[in-house]
């Protein structure tokens, strides 16, 4: 069995992908997906492979692909996941995972929030597979953060000036803090947020409960204080809250 996990679409027929197989594929190797669709390995780019498909990447994914659920979700991806594992405000394809804090919102909830005078703005950050990678180094500063694409509209950024910003999800926070630190509203971010980080724009964070030893948990601890966040986790465990992607959320204020 060979699994081709598309991390990023580069062009109509080119992509970067993780390839899981019994033997590491070499340049020039071809993988038959089905009905004449061939994935050709062009070379390596870090942990990823550059691949060229014989047909349009998005069309191949639509026909043969499965929703890439996080590894801790044990059931096989099905048609319901294409709807359930997606936020109601998603518009731009490209992420390999949903920003799961956003799964708590439906259209009536967003309407109610706006009715109370809050402004709801959307930004884009294409979550990469590195989101699920644990920190494996003793000194967190040496952890190599995965790169992700982000885009913030100029009108959106200007609308946030002087406002009390609540970020829905760690991905939104990383995009906003990258923009605040660099002045760039689009591009790549490798921002790694851990205790000691100085936040510039986000005042509140809505986020799910995360895996131990993950960059996401470190971000939450940086934002809310390590002791406060770990106390909240102990409470969540004692009260049998649901964790991870389809689980409960916590609101942190700094």
pLDDT digits (tens, 9 = 90+) for 173-221: 999 999 999 999 999 999 999 999 999 999 999 999 998 888 999 999 9
pLDDT for 50-99, tens place per residue? 999 999 999 999 899 888 777 777 777 777 777 788 899 988 888 888 88
Task: Kindly indicate the confidence band of residue 225, based on its pLDDT and cuts at 50, 70 and 90.
Answer: very high
* Cβ atoms 199, 167 nearer than 8 A: no
Contact of 34 with 54, CB cutoff 8 Å: no
CATH number of 3-64: 2.40.10
d(CA 92, CA 149): 12
What are the residue ranges of helices labelled H in 137-194? 154-160, 170-182
CB 124, CB 151: distance < 8 Å: yes
DSSP string, 181-244: HH--SEEEE-----TT---SSEEEEEEE---TTBHHHHHHHHHH-HHHHHHHHHHHHHTT---S
Query: Pairing mode, if any, of strands 14-20 and 3-9?
Result: antiparallel
- The residue extents of the domains of the chain are 3-64, 79-253
Least confident of 28-42, 75-89, 147-161, 164-178: 75-89
- pTM for this prediction: 0.85
Q: Decide yes or no: CATH 3.40.1780.10 for domain 79-253.
A: yes
Compute the distance between CA of residue 28 and CA of residue 121 in angstroms, rounded to an integer.
44
* Fold agreement between 3-64 and 79-253: no
Residue of 195, 196, 146 lying closest to 171 (CA atoms): 146
Bin 156: left if φ > 0, else alpha if -120 < ψ < 50, else beta.
alpha
């Amino acid at each position: 069995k060979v699994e081709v996990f598309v991390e990023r679409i580069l062009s109509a027929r080119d992509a970067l992908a993780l390839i899981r197989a019994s033997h590491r594929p070499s340049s020039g190797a071809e993988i038959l997906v089905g009905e004449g669709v061939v994935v050709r390995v062009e070379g390596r780019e870090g942990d990823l492979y550059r691949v060229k498909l014989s047909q349009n990447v998005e069309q191949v994914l639509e026909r043969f692909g499965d929703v890439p659920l996080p590894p801790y979700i044990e059931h096989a991806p099905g048609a319901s996941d294409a709807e359930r594992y997606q936020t109601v405000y998603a518009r731009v394809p490209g992420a390999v995972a949903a920003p799961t804090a956003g799964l708590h919102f439906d259209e009536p909830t967003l309407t109610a929030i706006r009715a109370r005078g809050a402004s709801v703005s959307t930004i884009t950050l294409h979550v990469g597979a590195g989101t699920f990678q644990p920190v494996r180094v003793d000194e967190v500063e040496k952890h190599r953060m995965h790169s992700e694409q982000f885009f913030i509209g100029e009108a959106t950024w200007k609308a946030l000036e002087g406002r009390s910003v609540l970020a829905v999800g760690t991905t939104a926070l990383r995009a906003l803090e990258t923009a605040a630190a660099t002045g760039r509203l689009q591009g790549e971010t490798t921002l790694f947020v851990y205790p000691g980080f100085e936040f510039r724009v986000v005042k509140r964070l809505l986020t799910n409960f995360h895996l131990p030893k993950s960059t996401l948990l470190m971000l939450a601890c940086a934002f809310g204080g390590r002791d406060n966040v770990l106390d909240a986790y102990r409470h969540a465990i004692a009260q049998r809250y649901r964790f991870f992607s389809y689980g409960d959320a916590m609101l942190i204020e700094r």
